[in-house]
Chain A
Amino acid sequence: MEDIRKSFHHDLDLIRDDIVRLASMVTEALGKATIALLDGDLQTANEIIQGDDVLDTLSLDIEERCYQLLALQQPMATDLRALVAALRMVAEIERSGDLVSNIMKAARRMYGAELDPKVRGLITRLGQEVHRLFRLSIDAYVDRNDGLAAALDDMDDTVDALHADYIQSIFESHETSAMQLQTAVQLALVGRYYERIADHGVNIAERVRYMVTGWLPEHTGAARLAAQNARSEMLSVAVEVAQGGEEAADGTADGRGA
């Protein structure tokens, strides 16, 4: 019996190692992607897009092994939580890898476009902030650090604010330096991809908190009400802007999904 437990924990360790490996690959690609986007570096873009196949294969392999362990070993309590968290994390990390590839596909589509300094500056900051958040979410997993995991939600607010500035800068850039429509469209999507990667980082942090403490992202009544009020306020601002006949700065910053 003890041998079975030992083998189970060994398998669980291997899964954990592979999740960290998978996440490191995505984190590295994300860092490179922002530079490649700004430099119009097609070779790196292609390498990252092709590299996604490796991420997909590894993700599937990990997921299958999780299911096998779940089915065969009937883990208890903490081990079960670690496995369920692992399953969800693989999905979050794999999807983040897809989004990094999407950024590179957008870079290919807007190849040759000149970006003005403000847009470039915001891409740099958005890229750095999202990269940092994603990396920290993985650090939280590696160190089982639920305090760090809990802090990531606040960092995501910075990303959301940067994203709003970024969309505004795209509008301005079109007016002042005649940015092409294709570039504006691709940049808007790129902003969305970065924002989603940050969301995945926050979700990973939530899985870490669940794994370590059993905590689930249940809002307290007060927090939920505050979030709801903030949303209503945002919409009413948008309504005022629309009714005033002005252009809304950004109708895109919305809630975070799993």
Chain B
Amino acid sequence: MRAGFSGELEQVRLQVEVTAVRVGEAIGRMRSVLATGDLGLAAQALAADDEIDAMVVSLTERTYDLIRREAPVASDLRFLVSALRMLEELERIGDLSLRVVKQAPEQPLLASQPDIFRTLVDMAALAEDLYRTALGAWSAQDLDAAHTLAVRNRSMDGHYADLLRHILELEGPGATHLAVAAVLTGRALERIADHAVIVGERLRYLLTGDPAYLASEIR
């Protein structure tokens, strides 16, 4: 019974990773759409997000079922609850990358302002980088990597401040339209990075059991 259970735990761990890889692909597509405004790719991204959502729902259900059937204790329970939270974060990161993708029709407008565009492109690169670090930390159960996330996310705040500064310098008739597209894109990218940090903090809680790490996602 217990041998079967540990196999199922391993399955949950693997499936979370598979979902995370899919979300990583979604972030890659998001960066391409932001860079090129490719509307065909944007449409693919929409379809891929539905698949991610379906994976999250089915895995969530399985995890709940496992908790119900096996009544796990201590670290197993902490792992399963963490997996549930991780899935929630993954779904959210997928949705946020889709927000950026949905700005695809505005991409030429964004690209017409070099300062704004460069900042957004940098933010997207950093968001992906932080996400990959979070994913690596989760896969390797690496406490140190998890620790670096919160520190590295600070440069995202700097980017976002730069973006707002550039936006407020805009002038002319199309300024509002561009400003709104830019700030909503920037905000989504900033939130992707925040969620990568939260994944790291969840991992720290999982590995240490220290509830102090629960606090860090509350801001």
Contact = CB atoms under 8 A, between A and B. Distances in A.
Interface in A66-125: 67, 70-71, 74-77, 80-81, 84, 87-88, 91, 94, 98
Interface string B29-47: 0000000000100110011
A137 interface: no
B180 A188 contact: yes
B218 interface: yes
A95 B106 CA distance: 29
Interface string B81-113: 100110010011011101100111110100000
B177 interface: yes
A12 B97 CA distance: 37
A183 to B, nearest CB: 10
Contacts of B211: 60, 63-64, 67
Contacts, number: 150
A87 B105 contact: no
B147 to A, nearest CB: 20
B181 interface: yes
11 contacts: A67-B78, A74-B71, A81-B64, A88-B84, A170-B176, A171-B176, A174-B176, A188-B180, A235-B42, A238-B105, A255-B53
Interface in B186-219: 187, 211, 214-215, 218-219
Interface residues of A, number: 58
A232 B218 contact: no
B2 interface: no
Contacts of B183: 185, 188-189
Most buried by A among B42, B104, B173: B104
